[in-house]
Chain A
Amino acid sequence: MSDLNAVSAVEAPGPAPTGPRHGGSPAKPRSLAGDAWLDLRSSKIFWVAVVLVAVILLMAVWPSLFTSADPRDCVLANKNAGAASGAPFGFDFQGCNVYAKTIYGARDSLIVGLFATLLAGVIGLLFGLTAGYYGGWLDAVLSRFIDVVLGVPFLLAAIVLANRFSTDPDATNIVPVILTLGLLGWTTSARVMRSAVISAKGQDYVAAARMLGASPSRQMFRHILPNSIGPFLVVLTILLGINIASESTLSYLGVGLKGDAISWGIAIAEAGPYIRTTAAPLIWPSVFLAVTVLAFIMLGDAIRDAFDPKLR
């Protein structure tokens, strides 16, 4: 007698003669996104992140809601002075209102973060889609290229690149910083997109679309993209946090935002030499920067956990 057949005979799943196998009320089938949303709704981290992001966005869009003081209106007489009315965080070495400066610091940081992330996202998307969909030598070349880009530690590359793009010493330098971060930050999203596309490509519905003669671009944008976008967006959310941190780091080093721009990174750098006198001008921008970065990373983390419950 054949052992293999015995196996299949015993284990062959047939139609169950009675009701549903998992008794009770049959659960409504839910989509992955639906499941993820249910998980998200009950995640404390997610809601904390959402509230923080909302406040930060509000600060960036409408700073006068939080302070009536002008961050650029600095009176030297107030140099390193303590807290006062309208200036709960005191004043820095130039006599600027630390609270106002910190509130207004959100705007440029967010603008840089958002646009740099958008740029990185577009590059990563195109890169990942192309490498993943076409595969073969094209994929090999593109993947090698990613290796090369990752062969230079991020900040080192950013320093060189930011230097390269900043041509006007008096400008706020927003565009060069966006370009720098965007052109260096796309590698992770490209890799994620690439592997998502490769796995989506193997799915039956994409094969079906291919057999029905859908063009490559139609296959990509109608069939593959919508099903690969989840992890990609998670990476971008986290990247947004990282970009805000990187902007501050570059600004701190003097190759990021300059001139008229208000940046937490600049504020931290400027406060450095005075820490023995007053720490507030250093501490507050640091706190705001850290919380902003944390908010986006938390958001991304919570969404990823909801989409990928495997390891919790």
Chain B
Amino acid sequence: MNFDPNAPLLQVNDMHVEFRTRDGVARAVTGVNLILRPGETLAVLGESGCGKSVTAQAIMGILDTPPAHVTKGEVLYRGVDLLKLPEDERRQVRANRIAMIFQDALSALNPVYSVGYQIGELFRTHRGLSRQEAKRRAVDLLDQVRIPDAKNRVDDYPHQFSGGMRQRVMIAMALALDPDVLIADEPTTALDVTVQAQIMGLLAEVQRERNMGLVLITHDMGVVADVADTIAVMYAGKVVEYAPVYDIYAHPAHPYTKALLESIPRLDFKGRGLNVIRGLPPALTDVPRGCPFHPRCAYARDVCRQDPPPPAYQIAPRRIASCHFIREVLGV
């Protein structure tokens, strides 16, 4: 495969994914653009059902087809469109180049194999290592993600680990083949708050050490602030705002981003009521006409009910948003 070392690490161009079910077609992703550079952390932020996990799985190529179909777009890894690769080459990209960790490590790990086996499997299938050598490497990895007593725990089964330790196993597994992109799909959602911080710390650390690109998928503004360099806010299958983390927090340009920020409880605003976002994101089989966010939007006017939002508008270098009223939201 002719990967171009100078091309961006990962670039998603105008990706569309739809689910064709008996009850109709759900357009889960409708034109997503992302870009990721080595060492960068890109947070993809949004409510459940906004298409962020689907985007991640489409990048990995692990959507269940059928019902899911990537209908349009490109997923470029170092300049090569993964969607056009034959399945066998695509498979080689997974874990070797782009690895993924999932939300619920208990169900994401196979219950009937020891964690050592599941990590070692990567070395055996991709690198042709022997069982012993693969297991030795698995112990090393468990050590690296700081699982105490790795030598003895390597033969344990997933259900014998605590939630945080299981997520460490997942991370070890993802790091096994030294990928340069790591996609973490809600890696800390299933964990206790204190453990969340540890796992995020570990992720940030391994990313720094290996200069990996990290795509962090989350619905949690709090997680994002500490680790992300760039944030892509998704709503109803689209990226509505894309910006460096500082800009987003300082001057959100999209009403949805702004609403998300205002819904975070803050100590300095003690006493003021929280502004939760009213309503639910639309069902993907039934996205409202016009701007999909208009029913919940404080800025919505007639134009939002009729016309789709304008194409992404470049506000500043590396900063775009898609809304009729960017100026009003920014307050300029």
A residues in contact (CB < 8 Å) with B: 1-7, 9-18, 21-24
User: Once the chains bind, are B265 and A6 in contact (CB under 8 Å)?
Assistant: yes
Could you say which residues of chain B place their CB within 8 Å of the CB of A17? 278-279, 295-296
CB within 8 Å of A: which B261-292 residues: 263-267, 274, 276-280, 282-283, 285-286, 288
User: Once the chains bind, are B219 and A10 in contact (CB under 8 Å)?
Assistant: yes
User: Once the chains bind, are B279 and A9 in contact (CB under 8 Å)?
Assistant: no
B31 to chain A, nearest CB (A): 22
Q: How large is the interface on B (under 10, 10 to 19, 20 to 34, 35 or more residues)?
A: 20 to 34
User: Once the chains bind, are A16 and B274 in contact (CB under 8 Å)?
Assistant: no
Q: A6-B263, A15-B279, A18-B288 are in contact. List 15 more A-B contacts (CB 8 A).
A: A1-B222, A1-B264, A2-B193, A3-B223, A4-B193, A5-B265, A6-B220, A6-B221, A9-B277, A14-B279, A15-B278, A18-B295, A22-B285, A22-B286, A23-B286
Could you say which residues of chain A place their CB within 8 Å of the CB of B282? 21
B interface secondary structure, majority: loop
B265 to chain A, nearest CB (A): 5
Q: In the docked arrangement, what's the CA distance between A162 and B8, Å? A: 80
Could you say which residues of chain B place their CB within 8 Å of the CB of A21? 280, 282-283, 286
7 smallest CB-CB distances across A and B, nearest first, come from: A9-B263, A3-B222, A18-B295, A23-B286, A14-B278, A16-B279, A5-B265
Could you say which residues of chain A place their CB within 8 Å of the CB of B221? 1, 6, 10
User: Once the chains bind, are B220 and A7 in contact (CB under 8 Å)?
Assistant: yes
User: 1/0 contact trace for B32-68 toward A, CB 8 Å?
Assistant: 0000000000000001100000000000000000000
In the assembled complex, 29 residue pairs joining A and B whose CB atoms fall closer than 8 Å, in A order, are: A1-B221, A1-B266, A2-B222, A3-B193, A3-B196, A3-B220, A4-B193, A5-B264, A5-B265, A6-B220, A6-B221, A6-B222, A6-B263, A7-B189, A7-B220, A9-B263, A9-B264, A9-B274, A10-B277, A12-B276, A14-B276, A14-B277, A16-B278, A17-B278, A18-B295, A21-B286, A22-B285, A23-B286, A24-B286
Q: In the docked arrangement, what's the CA distance between A12 and B276, Å? A: 8
A interface secondary structure, majority: loop
The one of B48, B267, B295 that contacts A16, using a Cβ cutoff of 8 Å: B295
Known contacts A11-B219, A14-B279; is-contact A1 B265 (Cβ 8 Å)? yes
The one of A3, A10, A15, A24 that contacts B263, using a Cβ cutoff of 8 Å: A10
Q: In the docked arrangement, what's the CA distance between A13 and B296, Å? A: 12
User: Once the chains bind, are A2 and B265 in contact (CB under 8 Å)?
Assistant: yes
How many contacts A-B (CB < 8 Å)?
72
Could you say which residues of chain A place their CB within 8 Å of the CB of B264? 1, 5-6, 9
Q: In the docked arrangement, what's the CA distance between A7 and B220, Å? A: 6
Q: In the docked arrangement, what's the CA distance between A16 and B282, Å? A: 10
Could you say which residues of chain A place their CB within 8 Å of the CB of B265? 1-2, 5-6, 9
Could you say which residues of chain A place their CB within 8 Å of the CB of B48? 11
Identity of the chain B residue whose Cβ is nearest the Cβ of A21 in the assembled complex: B283
Q: In the docked arrangement, what's the CA distance between A16 and B274, Å? A: 18
User: Once the chains bind, are B276 and A9 in contact (CB under 8 Å)?
Assistant: yes
Could you say which residues of chain A place their CB within 8 Å of the CB of B266? 1
Is there a chain A Cβ closer than 8 Å to B260's Cβ?
yes
A150 to chain B, nearest CB (A): 27
Could you say which residues of chain B place their CB within 8 Å of the CB of A2? 193, 222, 265
Could you say which residues of chain A place their CB within 8 Å of the CB of B274? 9
Known contacts A3-B222, A16-B280; is-contact A10 B260 (Cβ 8 Å)? yes
Could you say which residues of chain A place their CB within 8 Å of the CB of B193? 2-4
Identity of the chain B residue whose Cβ is nearest the Cβ of A24 in the assembled complex: B286
Could you say which residues of chain B place their CB within 8 Å of the CB of A7? 189, 219-220
The one of A10, A14, A15 that contacts B47, using a Cβ cutoff of 8 Å: A10
Could you say which residues of chain A place their CB within 8 Å of the CB of B267? 1
A128 to chain B, nearest CB (A): 31
A310 to chain B, nearest CB (A): 15
Could you say which residues of chain B place their CB within 8 Å of the CB of A1? 221-222, 225, 264-267
Could you say which residues of chain B place their CB within 8 Å of the CB of A11? 47-48, 219
Q: Which of A1, A4, A9, A10 gathers the greatest number of chain B CB atoms within 10 Å? A: A10
A19 to chain B, nearest CB (A): 9
Could you say which residues of chain B place their CB within 8 Å of the CB of A6? 220-222, 263-265
Identity of the chain A residue whose Cβ is nearest the Cβ of B261 in the assembled complex: A6
Q: In the docked arrangement, what's the CA distance between A4 and B264, Å? A: 10
Q: In the docked arrangement, what's the CA distance between A17 and B296, Å? A: 7
Q: In the docked arrangement, what's the CA distance between A16 and B295, Å? A: 8
Could you say which residues of chain A place their CB within 8 Å of the CB of B295? 16-18
Could you say which residues of chain A place their CB within 8 Å of the CB of B225? 1
Could you say which residues of chain B place their CB within 8 Å of the CB of A10? 47, 219, 221, 260, 263, 276-277
B45 to chain A, nearest CB (A): 9
Q: In the docked arrangement, what's the CA distance between A26 and B72, Å? A: 32
Identity of the chain B residue whose Cβ is nearest the Cβ of A4 in the assembled complex: B193
Could you say which residues of chain B place their CB within 8 Å of the CB of A22? 283, 285-286
Q: In the docked arrangement, what's the CA distance between A14 and B47, Å? A: 14
B28 to chain A, nearest CB (A): 16
Could you say which residues of chain B place their CB within 8 Å of the CB of A18? 279, 288, 295
Could you say which residues of chain B place their CB within 8 Å of the CB of A23? 286
Q: In the docked arrangement, what's the CA distance between A5 and B47, Å? A: 14
B124 to chain A, nearest CB (A): 34
B224 to chain A, nearest CB (A): 10
Identity of the chain A residue whose Cβ is nearest the Cβ of B222 in the assembled complex: A3
Could you say which residues of chain A place their CB within 8 Å of the CB of B279? 14-18
User: 1/0 contact trace for B211-254 toward A, CB 8 Å?
Assistant: 00000000111110100000000000000000000000000000
Could you say which residues of chain B place their CB within 8 Å of the CB of A16? 278-280, 295
Could you say which residues of chain A place their CB within 8 Å of the CB of B222? 1-3, 6
Could you say which residues of chain B place their CB within 8 Å of the CB of A5? 264-265
Q: In the docked arrangement, what's the CA distance between A22 and B189, Å? A: 28
Could you say which residues of chain A place their CB within 8 Å of the CB of B260? 10
